[in-house]
Structure 1
Amino acid sequence: MASPRAQTGSPAPVVVLVSGSGTLLQALLDASQDPDYGVRIAAVGADRPDIQGLARAERAGIPTFVCRVKDFADRAAWDAALTEQVAAHEPAMVVSAGFLKLVGERFLAEFGGRYLNSHNALLPSFPGIHGPRDALEYGVKLAGATLFVVDAGVDTGAIVAQCAVPVQDDDTVDSLTERIKQAERPQLVEWVGRLARQGFTVDGRRVRVPPAE
């Protein structure tokens, strides 16, 4: 399964989905100011209103939309509506940057193979929304972040990139989470840009990126 590559001189449109403060989004917004980065943030979507992530997008002049689960009869209807709102911006890729909702069949049928998620653990260990907490409770010495291509499972998709963050003896969930974010942001920026500029192919469990031209 191949993802489209940005055309020369034309940045790839990317829709970013958020649920909270949007620090990962901000890193992408900052990077996209460079014409050579190869990415244009086409829109930012959220599953709830009045969050800092949407405010960041609005300050940057980026179109936003909100698609709340509770506004629909069921998750399938929400998934269909989310798919339509994202598709309206014709993205080459979609990036989950702290988006806390699992998408469904309709979304993956439309964007499968080009929907990326950044997770704050070294997958396949500690999937789900409490990665740093679970890592601390288990007693691992290395935590980190994983960028992967979303599939129908929970944090089970093919891995694009990972970065390791040592766990300190005095770490709390908050301190470890913050240090993971500090490593997660540059990884996300580097790889979203690289995938947009160079394209990529998902081959089973492998994500293959051709060399830069």
Structure 2
Amino acid sequence: MSFPIVVLISGSGSNLQALIDQSLQGQLNVNISAVISNKADAYGLERAKQAAIPTHTLDHKLFESREAFDAELQKIIDQYSPKLVVLAGFMRILTESFARHYEGRMLNIHPSLLPKFKGLDTHQRAIEANEKEHGVSVHFVSAELDAGAVIIQASTEISSNDTAESLGNKVHTLEHIIYPLAVKWFSEDRITFHDGKASFDQTVLPESGIRYNEALK
């Protein structure tokens, strides 16, 4: 029986598409029970509809507070009893109570090598900081922004002629590889979460998680 997950999006849903593709190809044994967006024009909703996945739109602008929005979002998610909630470009800062409700069973992908460059505009900030490498991290979600335990990271070199756009494209390619991999590991009970730390095959991971090239050895 496949592993039920719910995916939250705000935009194009390219990471959602990577999950859909791998599940259709049999590489990922998950059932995407629903896709939820806080923006009605998010193209990811069309991707979900094309794959016959139920969709919901919940406009955060219609709620008086972040807490009220998160409470309604939680109700919708919990209708599907997912074993994992996957944030795939969901551009919302979550409340502490929401993060706590899904602690240890909610993942996010962030376009930097955490703990560097939390927040927005990570590609430009990495270039301006004269970093030699940049990348992407999959991590458990905590109440603090982009601060949960890291599961896996993948990196790419920053070349002298990289722009924020070209660097972003390189990072996007890595995202579509390691996010389905992390979801796969979680669905197979290889990734677990205890006391604020991530473990892989019952071994506690370092702060930077597993590097993608090492995962293939």
**Equivalent AA in structure 1 for residue 162 of structure 2:** D
In 1, are the aligned partners of 2:104 and 2:194 still within 8 Å (CA)? no
In 1, are the aligned partners of 2:186 and 2:192 still within 8 Å (CA)? no
**Equivalent AA in structure 2 for residue 103 of structure 1:** L
Instruction: Tell me which residue corresponds to 1:7.
Output: none
Which one of the candidate residues 101, 104, 111 is aligned to 1:113? 104
1:201 matched to 2:164: no
1:39 matched to 2:24: no
CA RMSD of superposed structures (Å) = 1.4
Report the Cα distance in structure 1 between the residues aligned to 2:166 and 2:143, rounded to whole angstroms.
31
Shift of 1:23: 0.6
Shift of 1:168: 1.0
Report the Cα distance in structure 1 between the residues aligned to 2:43 and 2:78, rounded to whole angstroms.
23
33-42 vs 93-102, which moves further: 33-42
In 2, are the aligned partners of 1:100 and 1:129 still within 8 Å (CA)? no
Give the 4+ runs in structure 1 shifted more than 4 A.
none
Instruction: Tell me which residue corresponds to 2:150.
Output: 159
Q: What are the ranges of 5 or more consecutive residues in structure 1 without an aligned counterpart?
A: 1-9
1:126 matched to 2:120: no
SS of alignment partner, residue 32 of structure 1: helix
Which one of the candidate residues 179, 182, 186 is aligned to 1:191? 182
Shift of 1:163: 0.5
Shift of 1:131: 1.3
Shift of 1:44: 0.6
Instruction: Tell me which residue corresponds to 1:144.
Output: 135
**Equivalent AA in structure 2 for residue 66 of structure 1:** T
In 2, are the aligned partners of 1:94 and 1:116 still within 8 Å (CA)? yes
Deviations 1:101-130 (A, max 9, x none): 011133223211111000000000000021
34-43 vs 13-22, which moves further: 34-43
**Identity of aligned pairs, percent?**
34
Change (3 A) 1:205 1:75: closer
Report the Cα distance in structure 2 between the residues aligned to 1:94 and 1:113, rounded to whole angstroms.
10
Figure out how many residues of one structure are paired with residues of the other and give that number. Answer: 202
Report the Cα distance in structure 1 between the residues aligned to 2:169 and 2:195, rounded to whole angstroms.
32
1:169 matched to 2:147: no
Shift of 1:205: 5.0
Report the Cα distance in structure 2 between the residues aligned to 1:105 and 1:199, rounded to whole angstroms.
26
SS of alignment partner, residue 91 of structure 2: coil
**Equivalent AA in structure 1 for residue 127 of structure 2:** L
**Equivalent AA in structure 2 for residue 81 of structure 1:** E
1:100 matched to 2:88: no
In 2, are the aligned partners of 1:17 and 1:45 still within 8 Å (CA)? yes
Shift of 1:169: 0.6
Shift of 1:200: 3.0
